[in-house]
Amino acid sequence: MYYTGIDLHKFTSYLTTVDSSGNIIKEADIKNVNHNFVQYFSDLGNENITTVESTMTWYWLGDLLSSLNIPMVLAHAKYVKAIAYAKVKTDKVDSHTLAQLLRMDYIPVAHKISNDNRLLRDALRARIKIVQRHTSVTNS
């Protein structure tokens, strides 16, 4: 079994894959384009599980991994303390830490919202921001 930690950003991602002993099998810094992820995971075979921190941009990656039949554990970003309190914070270290936490089953799991509710949640979040801005302008 391989465990892949993904440090996802807006334009690029850093991926680290470890085996069941914790040895690094593969690392890559790739642009966030579907075919780059397909290529990365095609080299690893079928026995793979991934994790990514819950950010505003995980939807497309979750959908892509689902279409490739690769399970994804959504890590609760606030509670991944090993990353939050790390002395050295780089994309490489973060993705490696995520992979190791996944291997040891220490990932604090976040709720994956269903496809049906994504638009509603995003609309509500946008409304909250608009109301907050309106209140800020009114009170200043």
Is the pLDDT score of 84 beyond 70?
no
SS3 content of the chain, % helix, strand, coil (to 5): 45, 25, 30
- Report the predicted TM-score, pTM, of the whole model to 2 decimal places: 0.83
Domain ranges of the chain: 2-109, 113-140
Using only the alpha carbons of the chain, give its radius of gyration: 17
Higher pLDDT: 70 or 118? It is 70
> What value does the mean pLDDT take over residues 94-110?
94
**Superfamily of the domain at 2-109:** ATPase, nucleotide binding domain (3.30.420.40)
Is the pLDDT score of 120 beyond 80?
yes
CA distance 46 to 60: 20
Q: Are strands 12-18 and 24-31 parallel, antiparallel or unpaired?
A: antiparallel
CA distance 98 to 53: 8
What pLDDT is recorded for position 105? 94
